[in-house]
Structure 1
Amino acid sequence: MTKHRIYTTSFASVYPHYVTKAEKKGRTKSEVDDIILWLTGYSHEELKSVLEKKMDFETFFAEAPRLNPSRALIKGVVCGVRVEDVEEPTMREIRYLDKMIDELAKGKAMDKILRK
Structure 2
Amino acid sequence: MEQNITCINCPMGCRMTVKLSPDGNVLSVSGNTCPRGEKYAVQECTLPVRMITAVIPAVGSPVPLSVKTSRPVPKAMIRQVMDILGNVQITLPVSAGQVIVPDILQTGSDIIATRDLP
Larger Rg: 2
Q: As a proportion of its length, which structure holds more helix?
A: 1
TM-score, scaled relative to structure 2: 0.22
